[in-house]
Chain A
Amino acid sequence: MKREHIAERLLVACSARLDTDAGPQGTAFFVAPGIAVTAAHVIGGVNGLGVHLSESARNWRGHVVDVRPSRAREIAATSPYPAPDLALIQIDEGPRHPCALLAKHLPSEDARMMTRGYTRTLDQQAVTAETETFSLTGTLETTDPDCKLLKLGLGEATRGMSGAAVLDLGTGEVIGMLRTSRKLGSNLGGWVVPAGLIRLLWPEEVGLAHDRFHEQYSLWRETASQLRAWQSGSTRAGPSTEANVVSVINGDNNGFVTIEYGRGSSRRHGSGTR
C-alpha cells in the first residue's frame, strides 16, 4: 500500500461533507470528540447555524458554536474572508468518530501534503470526494498577528475543499485546514490555517479534548509513526511496511473506525460524540 493510500484513509476517517439548509457548502473535519472545524466562509460566518455533516453512510447534526473572526464587518465578494477564517462546530447527534491528529510543529520546507474535500469537479450536479497533493511553498502573514497562513503549491485547490484537513504525507499529522485557492483553475495551490492556531483558539474544546483522545486511542499516532519511519528510510519501504498498516475501515457496527495492523490483527479506534 502506498503512503498516499494510507493518508487518504486517514483523511476519510476524520473528514465529512458539510451541508446547510441551503445545500452543500464544503468540507469539515473532526478535531476532538463531538467537535469539528470548517472555514468560517463555508457557513457564511453565521454563529449558531445548524449544519449537517456526512461521510459515506454516517451522518451528524450539529451547529456552529464559534466563528473567527467573530464579526467580519467587511464583506467583499472579490476578497478572501478575513483571517483566520475558522468556525467551530459542536455535534449534537450522530455516531462516534475518530479525530485528526493535529501537528504541533510547522512542517518541513519540502513537505508533501494531501487534502481531501467535497467538490463538484465530476459534474455540477454531484458533490463527490476528491483528493489532491501539494508541496509546502511558504507562509503568508495576515492582519491577525496570531495567524500566519501556510502556502501550498504544485496542486489545485478546488471549490469545495474549503474546510478540508491537510495531512503531511511524511508525518501523518494534519498540519491545518485548507481555506483558499491562490488561483482557481491553476496548480498554484492554496492557503492553509495552521493546526497550531486551531488549538490555540480553542484550547479546551480542541486542544485538551484532542490530546485526551489521542492518549486514549493511539492508533493514529502509531500509523503516523509508520509514515515517519517510512519517510526517513529507517524502515524498509515496500511490502514489510505495507503489511503494518493494512487498512482503515470506516464505520463498523459501533461507529468506530478500525485500523488493522499486520495480518490478522486489528484494533479499535474511535470516540463517542456525547
Chain B
Amino acid sequence: MMLPSGDLIWVHVQAEQAVMSDGDSGPTDVGLGQRIAPIAETLGLPGFTQTVRGVVTSVRQALDDHRPDSLTVEFGIQIVVKAGAVLSVLAEAGGNVHVTVTASWDRRDAVVPPAGEEELDPK
C-alpha cells in the first residue's frame, strides 16, 4: 500500500484467529500469502497522517510551558482492516497505548559564572 509520503510498502494483514483456523471457515481464497489489502495505495492509508500529527501535537502542547530543546516521541502505528477499510491506529499492547516521551534541555540559558571566580585550591 502507499503511504501518504508516496512510498509503497507491503502490509500483511493478520486475520482473526477464528477466521484463519482451517476447517472452521467458509469459502476462503487459497493464495499462499495472508490477505493483502487490495488497491490500498488508492486509499492513501487514511488516518496515518492524522494519527502521527495528533500524537506529536498533543505531546508538544503538553510540554509547551517547559520549552524543551529536544523532544523524542516513540509510539506504534497499527494498520488494521476494519469494516471494509484500511485504517491506521495507535498500536495497543494489552489494552494500553504506549507513548514514550523523552525531553531534554541543554541549559544554554543558565547563568555562567564570570571569569576569574574559579574556586582556588585550598592551601
B26 touching A120 by the CB < 8 A rule?
no
Within 8 A of B (CB), among A156-215: 157-163, 178-186, 190-191
Interface size on A, residues (CB 8 A): 50
- Given A75-B81, A184-B23: A158 and B30 interface contact (C-beta under 8 Å): yes
CA distance A186 to B22 in the complex (A): 9
Interface residues of B in 36-93 (CB under 8 A from A): 36-42, 81, 84-86
Residues of A within 8 A of B27 (CB): 80, 180-183, 191
Interface of A is mostly: loop
| B99 interface contact, C-beta 8 A | no
Q: Which of A39-47, A218-226, A266-274 contacts B (4 or more CB under 8 A)?
A: A39-47
Does chain B have a CB within 8 A of A90? no
Task: Count B-side interface residues using an 8 Å CB cutoff.
Answer: 29
- The reply on B35 being an interface residue by CB < 8 A is yes
Q: How many A-B residue pairs have CB under 8 A?
A: 120
Interface residue SS majority, chain B: loop
Cβ-based interface call for A118 (8 A): yes
Distance to closest chain B CB from A252 (angstroms): 30
Residues of B within 8 A of A160 (CB): 30-32
- Chain B contacts to A: CB under 8 angstroms: 10, 12-13, 15-16, 19, 22-23, 25-33, 35-42, 81, 84-86
11 further A-B contacts with Cβ under 8 Å, apart from A77-B13, A78-B15, A184-B22, are A41-B36, A46-B41, A47-B39, A71-B42, A75-B38, A77-B19, A78-B16, A78-B19, A160-B31, A180-B27, A191-B27
